[in-house]
A and B are shown apart, each in its own frame.
Chain A
Amino acid sequence: MNFSIALKTIVGKEIYRFIRIWPQTLLPPAITTTLYFLIFGKLIGNRIGSIHSASYMDYIVPGIILMSVISHSYANVVSSFYSTKFQRNIEELLVAPVPNWVILGGYVGGGIVRGIAVGAVVAAISLLFTTMTIHSLLITGSIALMTATLFALAGFINAILAESFDDISIIPNFVLTPLSYLGGVFYSVEMLPDLWQHLSMGNPILYMINAFRYGMIGVSDVDIQLAFLITSGFIVLLTVFALFLLHRGSGIKN
């Protein structure tokens, strides 16, 4: 049995879905981030000056790009997979000879593509406000890809466990957004009091944003190897948990 065709079908279906509804999926982040760059980067940033010898605008661009990658890779999978559950067309996949890893890979793949696509849109918009530098293409690309993978997996697990549409908005609103904002998108943790610095070190998003920032402008508050280790560790953990839930049929089988 050729599972690559099933995998391509699911990924293709997911990409087609978010492109078809681009006013809901690609346009809003473009508008929101334009406002971020305008208000925080231009209006407020000019008064803040520089952080780690980078202009404030240059400092926040990587964080805003990665924040978009995080929220959209998560949102794509959680909304798509939950809708699939809600409309019961998940049954198409359960009846077909599609292994669980292909279902997971297909939806996560779709989430990664949407996350990276939105990241690319935001990066393109940032060019209207500043010039982009890439300190290390390998670090920038790999951490963006890994972050998108991690949050697509998290979105998948949220969708499996969700029992109503409310359940798919709780995590993004009450967990993801606060952690992203507190993950050093707009500031360096060195600017915080000691207690808050220590607490921030427990926020995994801080490591991803700083690794991505290091990849772009060569500046970071954390150890890059540790950032890769934490991100990889979470990917493995969430993959195992998602496959366990699929195997058990939690939330998708009677």
Chain B
Amino acid sequence: MNALSIRNLKKTYRNGFEALKGIDLEVEAGDFFALLGPNGAGKSTAIGIVSSLVNATAGSVNIFGHDLQTDRAKAKSCIGLVPQEINFNQFDTVKNILLNQAGYYGLPRKIALPRTEYCLKQMDLWDKRNSVSRRLSGGMKRRVMIARAMVHAPKLLILDEPTAGVDIEIRRSMWQMMREVNQQGTTIILTTHYLEEAESLCRNIAIIDQGQIVEHSDMASLLARLNVDHFILDLAEPLNTVPVLAGCSIEKINDKSLNVAVPKQVGLNQLFSQLTQQHIQVISMKNKSNRLEQLFLDLIDAKAAGAKQ
């Protein structure tokens, strides 16, 4: 069964802006799915419609077999949403935020209390349960939002840029939590601007641009399409001239750094054997950009070029 099926979803705002131009999307149950796109591409509108925060102009949304228009309560009860911006009552305690959320989903108190305890412990927030939420750090507030979204045990968790603005340590611990939640059977849809996050966590991906889905596939086959990897090489000795390496294009960043584009058919062994032959000693190397980021930019650029023609 699909966790989410979107058919011909359209949204035109009152000012005439067409945010979604009839998108179709399928997310399988149990998936960890990335929905990516540049700012203003339409991903927040799509998520807004799925989570009932935005009214659609046309199209249908089906959540675990329940139509969002005709079977609204059942469809909505399957969803947990972690929005981009902090939107809980900042004057309430952490525990009350979760208990109220459980109440909105019809959970009786005797179930809501242990669920609240479980979710707060999972997010490492149990010690803060009686703290007023506005006094929490930014990272803790983000975790409260995830705990709140999970309190009614949703089958589909939608995370709209959940790690925006949090430091790398908290981000990585949140990744771990998200993986665990997904492994426990919850379908996750993630939007993020950190493409290494999507690459690391998600199995399937859709890229949306200018209100249309421009890519919808699994992560592995998408990454396999990347023909050229870009590397930065740090050299032991300075170079006066740019070396010539067969099959690769090279750009000098400074005397001791090179930017090398290596096609898949050349490979790293051939690159290093050529460097060794020319007595160029490499101290370290790193990817110039995240692989998914490169693909993402290629797809968006291709779309923009197509639009110009």
Whether chains A and B associate is: yes
Using a CB–CB cutoff of 8 Å, the interface residues on chain A facing chain B are 1-3, 5-6, 8-10, 12-13, 84, 87-89, 91-99, 249, 253-254
B87 touches A254 (CB 8 A): no
Q: Given A1-B73, A87-B87, A89-B88, verify A95-B53 contact (CB < 8 Å).
A: yes
B53 touches A9 (CB 8 A): no
Residues of chain B in range 88-127 having any CB-CB distance to chain A below 8 Å: 88-90, 96, 99-101, 103-108
| Closest chain B residue to A13, Cβ basis | B100
Q: Which listed residue, A12, A87, A97, A254, touches B53 by the CB 8 Å rule? A: A254
Quote the shortest CB–CB distance from A247 to chain B (angstroms): 10
Residues of B within 8 A of A12 (CB): 103
How many B residues are at the interface, by size bracket? 20 to 34
Write the B257-298 contact mask toward A (1 if CB under 8 angstroms, else 0). Answer: 000000000000000000000000000000000000000000
A6 touches B54 (CB 8 A): no
Contacts A89-B87, A95-B76, A253-B54 aside, 5 further interface pairs with beta carbons under 8 A come to A6-B106, A9-B103, A89-B89, A97-B72, A97-B76
A96 touches B55 (CB 8 A): no
User: Does B81 touch A at the CB level, under 8 Å?
Assistant: yes
Q: Which listed residue, A1, A89, A249, touches B55 by the CB 8 Å rule? A: A249
Quote the shortest CB–CB distance from A6 to chain B (angstroms): 5
A97 touches B74 (CB 8 A): yes
B89 touches A254 (CB 8 A): no
A1 touches B106 (CB 8 A): yes
User: Does B79 touch A at the CB level, under 8 Å?
Assistant: yes
Quote the shortest CB–CB distance from B50 to chain A (angstroms): 10
Q: Which listed residue, B13, B77, B104, touches A92 by the CB 8 Å rule? A: B104
Specify which of A97, A98, A253 lies most central, judged by the most chain B CB atoms within 10 Å of its CB: A97
B53 touches A94 (CB 8 A): yes
Write the B47-69 contact mask toward A (1 if CB under 8 angstroms, else 0). Answer: 01001111100000000000000
7 contacts between A and B (CB under 8 A): A3-B106, A87-B87, A95-B79, A96-B105, A97-B75, A253-B53, A253-B54
Residues of A within 8 A of B96 (CB): 13
User: Does B162 touch A at the CB level, under 8 Å?
Assistant: no
